[in-house]
């Protein structure tokens, strides 16, 4: 997802003199009036993950190294209103062992434009907790001299795919997934894909408003944060790729948020339309973003 181009950030520093010595403590200063970007998710069999950042300069091309992450925040994930977990900030490039494996299995964040953030908050190394169907999770964040919070509930299981078939094209592959939508179910869904030793990346999202009760076919391609995006056919998998698909259910609020993101993005390219910021599910108007709750089924393929 592209960042709203109308947002402008500033970064100041506070310099504190320590006694009479020539020592300085340099800390980032985040103006209170500046909205903070909060994005995250909790999914079945995945740990919670949250990223905090500031808006980027207007008209900038966003690269991972340009994102102004908010560090040293206090992020609480409260499961079922009884189990409180203080999330820990991690740098993706310093992860090893089990934490690296967990990060690689996390589902992509939706809004930063890179979808595999450099810094993120997740469970501590000695307490790996994952989401389960039907659980309620509350997220409370202390950052930017503000308190932000939201409560989400992991949906029930998505209706399974009937079958998935690899289709050869240009010496590579895409996948066709077949699915029959149960009538009257009011489904909202999204899929993610991963391959090689890369994290899950977001694919397309959907609602059953036009396909309710029908059987349909869905084209599955590599997600938007795939490292092959610069290639001539980034929408295709390679031969011998080990592909994993996360087929997920989300709620209407999350679906509507994704639609708002796309509508705002389209408006930026339309001189007759005015972009509006998506509302998200946070408790305050001084934040942008959304925490997703997802229930996913996983499918694995070794392409020929």
pLDDT one digit per residue (tens) for the chain, 304 residues: 434 333 333 223 222 333 333 343 434 444 455 678 899 999 999 999 999 988 765 445 556 667 788 999 999 999 999 999 999 999 888 888 877 887 778 887 765 555 567 789 999 988 989 999 999 999 999 998 889 999 999 998 888 899 999 999 888 999 999 988 777 777 899 999 988 777 788 888 888 877 777 788 889 988 767 566 556 667 888 888 889 999 999 999 999 998 888 776 654 554 444 456 677 898 777 788 899 999 999 999 888 8
Residue 211 included in any domain: no
List residues bridging with 84 in a β-sheet.
78
DSSP state, residue 77: E
Residue 57 included in any domain: yes
Residue 278 included in any domain: no
Cβ contact 97:125 at 8 Å: no
DSSP state, residue 260: H
Residue 225 included in any domain: no
Residue 285 included in any domain: no
Q: Which domain holds residue 61?
A: 12-155
Single pTM value for the model: 0.80
Output the DSSP codes for 194-247: EETT---EEEEEEESTTTTT-EEEEEE---TT-TTTTSS-TTSBPTT-EEEEEE
Residue 35 included in any domain: yes
Q: Which tokens hold the place of 9?
A: 């950030």
Q: Which tokens hold the place of 8?
A: 């402008």
In the chain, how many domains are there? Answer: 1
Residue 292 included in any domain: no
Residue 29 included in any domain: yes
What long-range pairs does 278-283 form, CB within 8 A, spacing at least 24? 280/38, 281/150, 281/152, 281/253, 281/254, 281/257, 282/38, 282/148, 282/149, 282/150, 283/148, 283/149, 283/150
């Amino acid at each position: 997802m592209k960042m709203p181009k109308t947002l402008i950030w500033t970064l100041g520093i506070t310099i504190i003199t320590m006694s009479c010595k020539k020592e300085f403590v340099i800390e980032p200063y985040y103006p209170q009036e500046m909205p903070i970007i909060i994005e995250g998710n909790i999914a079945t069999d995945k740990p919670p993950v949250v990223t905090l950042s500031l808006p980027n300069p207007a008209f900038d091309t966003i690269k991972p190294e340009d994102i102004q992450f908010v560090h040293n925040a206090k992020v609480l994930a409260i499961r079922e209103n009884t189990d409180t977990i203080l999330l820990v900030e991690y740098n993706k490039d310093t992860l090893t062992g089990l934490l690296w494996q967990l990060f690689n299995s996390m589902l992509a964040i939706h809004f930063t434009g890179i979808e595999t953030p450099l810094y993120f908050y997740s469970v501590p190394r000695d307490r790996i907790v994952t989401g389960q169907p039907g659980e309620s999770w509350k997220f409370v964040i202390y950052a930017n001299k503000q308190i932000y919070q939201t409560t989400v509930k992991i949906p029930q299981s998505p209706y399974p795919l009937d079958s998935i078939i690899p289709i050869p094209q240009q010496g590579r592959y895409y996948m066709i997934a077949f699915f029959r939508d149960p009538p009257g179910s009011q489904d909202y869904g999204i899929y993610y894909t991963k391959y090689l030793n890369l994290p899950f990346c977001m694919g397309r999202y959907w609602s059953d408003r036009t396909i309710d009760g029908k059987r349909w076919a869905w084209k599955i391609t590599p997600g938007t944060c795939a490292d092959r995006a610069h290639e001539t056919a980034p929408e295709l998998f390679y031969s011998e790729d080990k592909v994993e698909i996360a087929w997920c259910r989300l709620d209407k609020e999350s679906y509507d948020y994704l639609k708002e993101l796309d509508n705002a993005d389209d408006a930026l390219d339309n001189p007759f339309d005015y972009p509006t910021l998506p509302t998200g599910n946070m408790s305050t108007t001084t934040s942008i973003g959304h925490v997703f709750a997802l229930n996913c089924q996983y499918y694995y393929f070794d392409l020929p």
